[in-house]
Each structure stands twice: as structure tokens, then as C-alpha cells.
Amino acid sequence: MRKYGPVIGLPFSVEGIFFFLEAIFTGIYLYGWRRLGGWAHFWSGIPIAVSGIFGALSVMAANSWMNQPGGFTMKAGRIVSVEPLKVFFNRAAAYEMPHMLLAAYLVAGFGVASVYAVGFLRGRRDRYHRLGFAIPFVLAAALTPVEFLVGDTAARAIATDQPVKFAAMEYVTHTARDAPEYLGGVYADGHVYGALRIPGLDSLLVGFSTHAKVTGLDSVPPADRPPVPWLIHLAFDVMAGLGSLSLIPLLWLLLAWWRRRALPKHRWFWLLAAGAGPAAVVAMEAGWIVTEVGRQPWVVYKLMTTAQAATTNPGVIASLSAVIVLYAVLGVATILILRLLARRWRAGDEQEAAVPYGPPSTDASALGGEAA
Amino acid sequence: MVLLIHGSVLLATAREVVPARAQMATTLGFHIILACFGIAFPTIVLAAEYIGLKRSDEVAMTLARRWSQALGVLVAVGAVTGTVCRSRWACCGLG
């Protein structure tokens, strides 16, 4: 991978700048609650959101470049010049950037909302819990249909740009017209077993006609096909399936709002809403599996294989075990801290963490609303 | 559920390659969740604060204040996992 370092290092450096901006303004925002006036404090938070978005786009620039590399000149196996804009805005960026950015909003929105949905199911139904649910849920639910359209466009673009990845996603064994759509099922030795088969639908989705030709796995030699088509296909089905399911609570919410100007009351709505958070995380991880495993054996599409790039350091097994243990501890610790915060909030113990040597807080601005 | 997915990725890659790929999958698959919150949670916090300021809504202000604390925790953990990812890439000459 060192070979392409000068190209792909670029978006990562830019991401670094946005990350530091985000960290700095997060500090100001947290520190400023009782020290900045209402709207001044609000504006100090805007750079957090903006740099978060641009940081994400930078990482997506790097990832989409790995799918559609370009914007550099190579002479005798060495990169001699780089065109930054062409690296950032590569062919795949147009659909990968919005797709992942929206996914992040769905994960965070449904994730936060599901906490309050669980609270609602446990009988905490005061305005605090209803508003805590409504703000993130409405944001995420409103973006769900947009994500649906972006994802659909992305899949069609991948059928053209990375046909072998698409063939694995949809179990297109042979290049053909009138390609069927498979839901579920496993793939082994060139055959699909146990799937729900819908004739012609795949061609229809790719080319708006059952007569459209779809490129199959047989278009490249076996060595150039992704190693585990079943994982890619099932991950794709999980992502698309959960994405479609999350339209249900959106429609339910719209219906309830149209009829009564209130949140739905039915227990099933709240169960769905509570499940939407974990489901969004699963869908996002599944989508990531589709794009990453689907690109194999390439790490940089058609230019460099993963085997060429991966470290063969014998110490990797030990460090892998260490990483898994460490991350398990980190994950549990994060959840415990968040639960501790929630318990403290419920107990009404709201004192802000004391800031050493900080200026005294003014209680007037803490109320914020009065400044408006 | 995430662990299940993760397990299947590990299984699928274990024979094929290399622990190196499994390690990349672990670090990135974990970081990507925190990254999502780092990207989108600020907008949600600001939406609550906006409502709070615009309508002098105390409940919305309380939500924004509490959410920002949770955001602080998630950004801090995300910075740690993000640095791990960065060092992995640096090994490959990307950083």
C-alpha cells in the first residue's frame, strides 16, 4: 500500500484537520454551557457538526478512491504526480459520500431515539422523553427515504463501475439478460441454493428493463472474484431489508401526526422504534461488509491486491487477540459510562463537571432560553 | 448482533488471509459506529438547542445539555479508536 501512499494519504490528512477542529469545538461547546450566552453557545456548536460532516466526506473520499482509483500519474511503478481534486471527487465519491453520510445520520438518529423508545415502553412518557425521542427520530426517519434512493442509485452505479462486486451482491453467476433477483440463499460452486428467486427483477433494477444485460461472476477468472459471495450477498440483503423495514415506523408516524398531531400510541410502534437503533447499526455494518469484502481480491480496485498490501508480520495474531480484548473492554466501558450519566440525570444530579481554573459560571446563561 | 456479524467476517476471512485483515475488520468495524455518532450526533444536539432557544423551551435545553455530555464521551472514545485505525494505516504507509 506504500506505493499509493502519496495519493490516499491526502484525504486522510485532510480528515485529520477536520477531526482536530471537531475535537476543539466539542471542547468549547461542552465548556461553554454556563459561560456563553444562548445563541453564542449555539453557534460555537455549528463547527462541530460541519467538521464532523467534512471529516466523514474525507474518509469516504479515500474509501471511494479505493473503489474507483484515479487522479494520479505513474511512471516506472512510481507515483509522479497527483491531482487532489480528482482523487477526492473520484467516480465512486458521488454516490458513496452521500450514502455513508446519511447512514451516519440514521445510526445516530435512530440510536438516540431508541434509548427514549425503551424509556417510553418502561412507562417514562413525560414530555422530556417524548421530545428526546421525537427530535432524533424525526430527523432519521425523514432521511430514510432519501437514503433509500441514494442506495438504489449507488447499486446501479456499482453494476457499471464494479460489475464483479455487483455480481456477488446479487448472485449473478453468468453474464445474461433477464437476470433474476435472489433474496437470501447461499452460493456454492456456481449455484444458488435456498433463495427466493424473482425472474427478471435484477435486470429491471439495473437497467429498467428485464432485457437489460447484467455482468456475472464468470466475466473474470476465479482468482479475480471475491472469495465469499454468500457473505456479500447476505450482507446486502440485510442492509436493503432493514432499510425497507425502517420505512414502516416513518409511515406510522406520518399517519399518527396527520390524524391526531401526536406521536403514535400503539405498543408496536414503540417496539419498532426501540429496535430501529440497533437495526441501523447492523445495516450500516452490513453495508460496509458489502463494499469492503465485495472489492476483494483488490484493495485498490484492479491495481493492487489485498495480499500485496496486507502485513505478513508474524506478530499479528498476538496483536489481533490484544485488539479484540481491548475493544471489548472499551465497548463495555463506554456503555457503562453512558448508563452512569443517564442514572445521574434521572436522579436530577445535574452539576456540571467542575472545570479547574475555569471562570465562574453564570447561572443566567445556563438557562439559555431567557437569552432568546 | 454486531458481534455476530463481526464473527462471520472473522470466520470468512480467517482461512483466506490473514489475521491482518481480521484485525483491520475489528478496528474499523468498531470505530465506524463511534464515527457515525461523531458525524451526526452534533446535529441532533444542535437541533435540540435550537428548539430550546427559539421557543424558550427548558426541556429541549436540558436534552441538549445532557446529550452534549454523551457526545463528549463518544467523541473521546472515537478519538482513541480512530487513532488505532490511523496507526494501522500508517503501518501501510497511508497515514
Chain A CA closest to residue B72: A26
Chain A CA closest to residue B24: A320
Angle, CA B54 vertex, CA B49 and CA B60 arms, to 5°? 40
Residue of A280 and A310 predicted with greater confidence: A280
Cell 482468482: give the residue: A223
Q: Do A317 and B93 touch (CB under 8 A)?
A: no
ipTM: 0.87
How is residue A356 written as a grid cell?
A: 479547574
**In angstroms, what separates the C-alpha of A159 from chain B's closest C-alpha?**
23
- Residue A210 DSSP symbol: T
Q: Are A192 and A253 in contact (CB under 8 A)?
A: no
Q: Do A285 and B38 touch (CB under 8 A)?
A: no
Over the stretch A260-306, which tens digit does the pLDDT of each residue have? Answer: 988 898 999 999 999 999 999 999 999 999 998 888 888 888 778 88
Q: Which of B36, B71, B92 sits opposite A309 (nearest CB)?
A: B92
Residues 6 or more apart whose Cβ sits within 8 Å of residue B95? A9, A12, B86, B87, B89
Q: What are the DSSP calls for A107-131, one per residue?
A: HHHHHHHHHHHHHHHTT--SHHHHH
Q: Which of B9, B40, B86 sits opposite A108 (nearest CB)?
A: B40
Q: Which of A30, A135, A108, A115 shows the shortest CA–CA distance to A339?
A: A115
Q: Do A42 and B49 touch (CB under 8 A)?
A: yes
Name every chain A residue with its beta carbon within 8 A of the beta carbon of B84: 323
Residue A220: band (very low, low, confident or very high) from pLDDT cuts 50, 70, 90: confident
Q: Which of B73, B43, B89 shows the shortest CA–CA distance to A311?
A: B89
Over the stretch B27-84, which tens digit does the pLDDT of each residue have? Answer: 888 999 999 999 999 999 999 999 999 999 999 999 999 999 999 999 999 988 888 8
| Ranges of H-type helices in A124-197 | 127-161, 163-170
Q: Do B26 and A320 touch (CB under 8 A)?
A: yes
Name every chain B residue with its beta carbon within 8 A of the beta carbon of A44: none
**In angstroms, what separates the C-alpha of A248 from chain B's closest C-alpha?**
21
Q: Are A111 and A137 in contact (CB under 8 A)?
A: no
**In angstroms, what separates the C-alpha of A210 from chain B's closest C-alpha?**
33
Name every chain A residue with its beta carbon within 8 A of the beta carbon of B59: 127-128, 131
How is residue A12 written as a grid cell?
A: 486522510
Q: Do B70 and A286 touch (CB under 8 A)?
A: no
Residue A300 is inside which H or E element, if any?
A: strand A298-300
Residue of A55 and A185 predicted with greater confidence: A55
Q: Do A327 and B30 touch (CB under 8 A)?
A: yes
Q: Which of A204, A94, A105 shows the shortest CA–CA distance to A145?
A: A105
Residue A368: band (very low, low, confident or very high) from pLDDT cuts 50, 70, 90: very low
Name every chain B residue with its beta carbon within 8 A of the beta carbon of A371: 53
Q: Which of B19, B30, B40 sits opposite A109 (nearest CB)?
A: B40
Chain A CA closest to residue B38: A52
Strand-pairing partners, residue A177, are: A213
Its pTM stands at: 0.88
Cell 485532510: give the residue: A14
CA distance A344 to A225: 53
Residue A305 is inside which H or E element, if any?
A: strand A304-305
Least trusted range by pLDDT, from A118-132, A252-266, B1-15: B1-15
CA distances from A162 to A154, A296, B6 (A): 11, 11, 25
